[in-house]
Amino acid sequence: MPVTADQQAEIDAQRSHPQPTLRAVSPGMEAHLYRAHDVLDHGFIRVIDYMGDDSSICQAARVSYGKGTKSVSNDEGLIRYLMRHWHSTPFEMCEIKLHVKLPVFVARQWIRHRTANVNEYSARYSILDREFYIPEPSALAAQSTTNNQGRGEVLQGAEAARVLEILKSDSQRSYDHYEEMLSETAADGGAQSGLARELARMNLPANIYTQWYWKVDLHNLFHFLRLRADAHAQMEIRVYAEAICKVVADWVPFAYGAFEDYRMGGATLSGKAIDCVRRMLAGETVTQETSGMSKGEWREFEGVLGD
Amino acid sequence: MPVTADQQAEIDAQRSHPQPTLRAVSPGMEAHLYRAHDVLDHGFIRVIDYMGDDSSICQAARVSYGKGTKSVSNDEGLIRYLMRHWHSTPFEMCEIKLHVKLPVFVARQWIRHRTANVNEYSARYSILDREFYIPEPSALAAQSTTNNQGRGEVLQGAEAARVLEILKSDSQRSYDHYEEMLSETAADGGAQSGLARELARMNLPANIYTQWYWKVDLHNLFHFLRLRADAHAQMEIRVYAEAICKVVADWVPFAYGAFEDYRMGGATLSGKAIDCVRRMLAGETVTQETSGMSKGEWREFEGVLGD
Amino acid sequence: MPVTADQQAEIDAQRSHPQPTLRAVSPGMEAHLYRAHDVLDHGFIRVIDYMGDDSSICQAARVSYGKGTKSVSNDEGLIRYLMRHWHSTPFEMCEIKLHVKLPVFVARQWIRHRTANVNEYSARYSILDREFYIPEPSALAAQSTTNNQGRGEVLQGAEAARVLEILKSDSQRSYDHYEEMLSETAADGGAQSGLARELARMNLPANIYTQWYWKVDLHNLFHFLRLRADAHAQMEIRVYAEAICKVVADWVPFAYGAFEDYRMGGATLSGKAIDCVRRMLAGETVTQETSGMSKGEWREFEGVLGD
Amino acid sequence: MPVTADQQAEIDAQRSHPQPTLRAVSPGMEAHLYRAHDVLDHGFIRVIDYMGDDSSICQAARVSYGKGTKSVSNDEGLIRYLMRHWHSTPFEMCEIKLHVKLPVFVARQWIRHRTANVNEYSARYSILDREFYIPEPSALAAQSTTNNQGRGEVLQGAEAARVLEILKSDSQRSYDHYEEMLSETAADGGAQSGLARELARMNLPANIYTQWYWKVDLHNLFHFLRLRADAHAQMEIRVYAEAICKVVADWVPFAYGAFEDYRMGGATLSGKAIDCVRRMLAGETVTQETSGMSKGEWREFEGVLGD
């Protein structure tokens, strides 16, 4: 249960008081505000705030005084042009602020995206909750035999059971010990000092949940989504990226459509690869040997053309 | 006249349609939205959008589910604490987007603040307007005799008149020539090709006005304001910073109050300077010679204590 | 003459004292150090310092204790893999510092690349030199009739002559007036105060030369080069990018080779474009109408396949 | 033992081959290159590369063609002036690259400094070593009773012993289970698939060691050191900052001296605090009640003046 009843009451209270504003308003985004979208077993994303909409991108590109456009189709065409030609600054004019609850090992990947603002729940200042990510059986995959940083087949039978047992029992034991070290009551009921929180936390494993406020502009968010909603990303961060994709599609539908077509669904071909396409279109049969590409490049090239 | 009648009509149109939102709303900022605040002879700043208010700073610092506070006085105390202890990330959770019209030589200083998003009016794509910054007579100052990058006395009489004449006539001539080079009609009335805009602009001097959309978070805005609203900043950028200060005071009054007290009104003392204060409070008469400070440091130290 | 005899003597002095170091050394780059490579009529780039070489990229990717590799071919393969898969952080481990002399209108484009360190010659503190960019006749192009931010045919005859005359005479006049305003001797030989440098500079046009130290990591430099060495970049910045490309090719030959193949010589295809390639390879005749692309997209797609 | 015999041999090999360079060389830094400085029980910092020295700061500030200075005392004065007046860009012209081995909970604090380049050892790609931070008994402190994010008295007797026992045994058990899950041999000696590395790592606690290459410019390094070498920083990151301080003092002695005086040894006083100092120097007895400061501010003010 990612959100408690008390927390839900706070969320409901925030949703119950619309106020007038003169700013650009995205109706699709207003429907999301504050609501938690569940991710993994205890995580979520929820939109805390946003700035701008599709028209804000165009307004900035035109440095205009007012709404700065005549027609909606104009706006879509301009947004697609900007995306196609890597004009990134107008997309930076939209901003989103999310509250995210996520396992620490996911947070460690996520934070590598530096062009964002973050406030994380402090384990020096506060005590973390007893909440750990335990994968679904279908997510318990073996090491890939072909990809050094990927997954292969799903574990089966006794091996899967043993892994789940380890993850669950180690999580609980580490948390029991975390509480015991923090406590001002010793095991024998007597008084003890209680270890500093900034030290006790070092006993907690990487599947414990943390949370943060994360604020990022739309250009850098698209960069994050391109890498993290990609099939090669670790599943546990990809599900967060996918949940954010759905929100962004409701927030800035034109920009998201262009992103899907030009970034997520697109591919970058090398000079050698483009040359091969030209030769193939001219009727030549090109093989890896005659392509000038390494085996790895050729396999990836076939993946782009073949699928 | 910084804003034309047409532009004012666009601004009025944007101000006439409040919409409901569930986001944090700053009433002080809503009153500013889209309105142009005049700066210098043809410039302005105007707020295009904003995200967050004082309570958003606290909400992020607490990573809270709802409004996350019991009382307004709590919020002010927390904000002052965060500012005093250089906890910058909660201030990054507020964002402002401005439309600014400013002379090019001011824009060149301004852009050195890198942690911001910018869309500038393109002189490759568009033709610039005939608008130049011509200083007020009271702003026509001599080179400072003590400060290599500052101003001294105001110019008088024939010298002042000659400077104004130069600035005005060179501006007009350069713009006449800009138009002549761009034109597809030659001086003799015949057809000509017209120079590319990206080339013709090189003839325009640094007092021509440009404009941009500028978006920045509150932490980085405070950093900008501390440097540019400072007495040592060039007057022509300082007046922009001062205009922004007034807007920020209406947007996030607690944060702005803390900024005024701890940053704008504060001073950083070196280890040597603190030692001198201690010695002076203990009754010792400290001079530059006995202070351990250089003459320059001592003069600045006296400035802090004396004023 | 971009560099004076005195400056050349300073450069020669710096090149005459090799010292031993334990750091990674790039022989190709040592040959460039401090030397000015002329660009445009008065500009240059020269390498002031650098950090790392091709092997440093691999060493960082492997987080290794020593040189971290067995063979040179290993290194090249790894670098190509990293470039192909957008693993950007190892490229950030190399750094270059350049001294650049360039016209102000070029500097204004250049500075939009924010992830770099810059120290610019200060026109508040110092007096600028009388050096202006005056284009070669072959660079005096008309506005493009098809591209709003590009150039068309080269100007001819009287029009070209008139443009050159304007650029030259306005430059000289503005500089004469700059000196006159700064001077402490009035036109009549009497004393005057002399206008502050921070004000006098506003009379100078955008083709005056400025200079700066510019420091950037290799990943962000590649991003700069991809945009600015591109055929769509304005010629006056492209020649700087091209001069830098030659230096980088000598500094990190493997990384530069991968950059040329995957970035400069590559192309990004949208999902629709990839779908068209597949259909064409399967024997279908695809037209703009049946492609699902707009006319602009289709034209660009033909450009990729056709050349 | 932070470095194995094999690793030491790699380090020695790198130190045995000086090569000539024309770049600025810092003799103090050459002595540090590649050598591991031990930190905590298994960690270290070691310098992998550097760019620039004290004179490079001045050279950039002057945008000079050669060494750009007449005397060493000139350089020191300029550096102190730049530091005192917050001219940060010349300090950005020096760069350092470190290899750091550190516990994950320290890495999580460290990475919050975003203006740096990082390549971390990947637990998706590789298997982490069995190395955990176990505090010295003298570092096992109780939660502070006055500071929500600090430490109080050192734990004693049975409580200290129990905490150490927990940290040691949980670390070993979690690592045993990590290996068991990764293994392709089941507990009964039969074959099993072996859990993907990217999943198995989630069982590891935050005191396990990781390592990374970290590259940062001198300005941002000073910012890091000011916050992390401060008495309020958690001890486990402070010892890394202190080790880096010693290296920087040998690298850029003038800049480090200015940093020590103006930043580490200095203090920022609010407008109210400066007013109080003036009143006290004029002979007035100022108390918290008459100071205009809150109790917290007054306590910090007394700390500055009193110590």
| D297 Cβ under 8 Å from any chain B Cβ | yes
CATH (residue range A5-132+207-264): 3.30.1360.170
Of B4-8, D134-138, D212-216, the poorest mean pLDDT is in B4-8
Instruction: Tell me the pLDDT tens digit for each residue of D250-267.
Output: 999 999 999 999 999 999
Q: Which pair of tokens denotes residue B258?
A: 């803390």
What average pLDDT does this structure show over A13-27?
A: 95
Q: Which residue out of C8, C51, C111 would a mutagenesis test of the D interface target, given it has the greatest number of D Cβ atoms within 10 Å?
A: C51
CB pairs under 8 A between B and C: 160
Q: Residues D160-178: what's their mean pLDDT?
A: 98
Cα dist. D85→C178, C213, D107 in Å? 29, 20, 32
Residue of B nearest to D230 (CA): B85
Position D204 scores a pLDDT of: 98
- Do the chains contact at A20 and B19, CB–CB below 8 Å? yes
CB distance D50–C23 less than 8 Å?
yes
The answer as to CATH 3.90.1200.10 being correct for domain D5-133+207-264 is: no
Question: Which entry of C201, C228, C263, C278 is annotated as an active-site residue?
Answer: C228
pLDDT at B156: 94
- Neighbouring chains of C at 3+ CB pairs under 8 Å are A, B, D
Q: How confident is the model at residue A141 (pLDDT cuts 50, 70, 90)?
A: very high
pTM of the model: 0.96
Q: Do residues A49 and B56 touch, judged by C-beta distance below 8 A?
A: yes
Confidence band (pLDDT; 50, 70, 90) for B70?
low
Contact C92, D117 (CB under 8 A): yes
Q: Which residue has the higher pLDDT, A246 or C144?
A: A246
If we measure between CA atoms, which residue out of A258, A259, A250, A254 comes closest to residue A223? A259
Which residues in B lie closer than 8 A to residue D271 (C-beta atoms)? Answer: 260-262, 264-266
Residue A34 DSSP label: T
Please identify which residue in the block is written with the tokens 């249960």. A1
Q: Which residues of B touch D268 (CB under 8 A)?
A: 262, 266-269
HSE, CB side, 13 Å, CA atoms: give it for residue A89. Answer: 21
User: Quick check: D150 pLDDT over 90?
Assistant: no
- Partners of B84 on chain D (C-beta within 8 Å) are 270, 297, 300
Nearest-CB residue to A205 (from D111, D140, D204): D204
Interface contact A199-D141, CB threshold 8 A: yes
Contact at CB, A296 and C81, closer than 8 angstroms: yes
- What pLDDT was estimated at residue C1? 65
Residue C98 CA to residue C110 CA, distance in Å, equals 13
pLDDT at B307: 58
- Has residue B64 got a pLDDT over 80? yes
In this complex, the residue of D56, D65, D89 whose CB is nearest that of residue C10 is D65
CA atoms within 13 A on the CB side of B213: 26
> Residue A210 pLDDT more than 60?
yes
Tokens of B52: 């967050």
Is residue B265 less than 8 Å (CB to CB) from chain D?
A: yes
b/e map A252-286, b = 16+ CB within 10 Å: bbbbbbbbbbbbeebbebbbbbbbbbeebeeeeeb
* Residue numbers of A between 31 and 70 with CB closer than 8 Å to B: 33-34, 48-52, 56, 59-61, 63-68
Low-confidence ranges of chain C (pLDDT < 50): none
Q: Which of A89, A266, A277 sits opposite C271 (nearest CB)?
A: A266
Nearest to A219 by CA among A106, A79, A71, A35: A79
pLDDT for res B197 = 96
Comparing A72-86, A212-226, D281-295, the range with the smallest average pLDDT is A72-86
Q: Assign residue C288 a region (left: φ > 0; alpha: ψ between -120 and 50; beta: otherwise).
A: alpha
Chain B interface includes A120 (CB < 8 A): yes
Cβ distance B274 to D81 less than 8 Å, yes or no, reads: no
Mutate to test the interface with A, among D154, D195, D212, D238 (most CBs of A within 10 A): D195
Q: How far apart are CA B193 and CA C160, in angstroms?
A: 10
Q: Where are the alpha helices (DSSP H) in chain A?
A: 5-15, 27-30, 54-62, 72-84, 104-110, 157-182, 197-200, 218-228, 235-251, 253-259, 271-281, 288-291, 295-306
Rounded to the nearest angstrom, the minimum Cα separation between B266 and chain D is 4
The two structure tokens encoding residue B189: 């009335």
pLDDT at B246 over 60: yes
The count of C-alpha atoms lying within 13 angstroms of the C-alpha of D92, restricted to the half-sphere facing its C-beta, is 18
- pLDDT tens digit sequence for B196-221: 999 999 999 999 999 999 999 999 99
Judge: B196–C114 Cβ closer than 8 Å, yes or no.
no
Backbone angles phi, psi at C120, to 5 degrees: -100, 145
Residue D237 has pLDDT above 60, yes or no: yes
D199 touches chain A (CB under 8 A): yes
More confident of the two residues B68 and C50: C50
Which of D142, D156, D234 faces A124 most closely, judged by CB atoms?
Answer: D234
By C-alpha distance, which of D215, D212, D214, D219 is closest to D252?
D219
Do residue A281 and residue C81 have CB atoms under 8 angstroms apart?
Answer: no
**Nearest by CB to B155, which of C133, C150, C195?**
C195
CATH tag, B5-133+208-264: 3.30.1360.170
Chain D residues close to A148, C-beta within 8 Å: 125
User: Does the ipTM exceed 0.85?
Assistant: yes
Q: Tell me if residue B143 falls in helix, strand or coil.
A: strand
End-to-end CA distance of chain B: 39
User: What's the gap between Cα B217 and its chain centre?
Assistant: 14
Among chain A residues, CA nearest to C232: A85
> Among residues 2-21 of chain A, which lie with CB inside 8 Å of chain B?
3, 7, 9-11, 13-15, 17-21
Q: Where are the domains of chain C?
A: 5-133+208-264, 134-206, 271-306
3-state helix, strand, coil in chain D (%, to 5): 50, 15, 35
Nearest CA to B45 among B207, B208, B214, B205? B214
Is the pLDDT reported for residue B69 higher than 60? Answer: no
Find the residue in D nearest to A164 (Cα).
D181
Q: Does D262 touch chain C (CB under 8 A)?
A: no
Tell me which of D23, D35, D62, D228 is the catalytic residue.
D228
With bands split at pLDDT 50, 70 and 90, how would you rate the model's confidence at A187? confident
Q: What is the mean pLDDT of residues B287-293?
A: 94
- Nearest 5°: phi and psi at A213? -95, 130
Collect all residues of chain C within an 8 Å Cβ-Cβ radius of residue B192.
Answer: 155, 159
Res A37: pLDDT? 97
d(CA B1, CA B4): 7
In 3D space, the residue among D48, D18, D7, D17 whose CA is nearest the CA of residue D214 turns out to be D48
The pLDDT of residue D56 is 96
Which of D125, D195, D234 is facing A149, going by the closest CB pair?
A: D125
D148 or C18, higher pLDDT: C18
* Residues in A touching C258 (Cβ below 8 Å): none
Query: Residue B173: what pLDDT?
Result: 98
* Residue A168 pLDDT exceeds 90: yes
Is B193's Cβ below 8 Å from some Cβ in C?
Answer: yes
Interface contact flag, C11 D52, Cβ < 8 Å = no
- Position B68 confidence tier, pLDDT thresholds 50, 70, 90: low
Does residue C228 carry a catalytic annotation? yes
Quick one: CA dihedral D268, D272, D278, D279, positive or negative?
negative
Q: From A283, which residue of chain C is nearest by alpha-carbon distance?
A: C281
- Per-residue pLDDT, A69: 56
> Which residues in chain A touch residue B49, judged by CB atoms under 8 angstroms apart?
23-24, 51-52, 56
CA-nearest residue of chain C to D99? C63
The mean per-residue pLDDT over the stretch D93-118 comes to: 96
Interface probe, candidates D202, D228, D237, chain A, greatest A C-beta count within 10 A: D202
Of the residues A74, A87, A147, A269, the best mutation for testing chain C's interface (the one with the most C CB atoms within 10 Å of its CB) is: A269
Note the pLDDT tens digit of each residue in B90-119. 999 999 999 999 999 999 999 999 999 999
In this prediction, residue C262 carries a pLDDT of 94
Structure letter (DSSP) for residue A263: I
Residue D47: closest CA among D257, D228, D249: D249
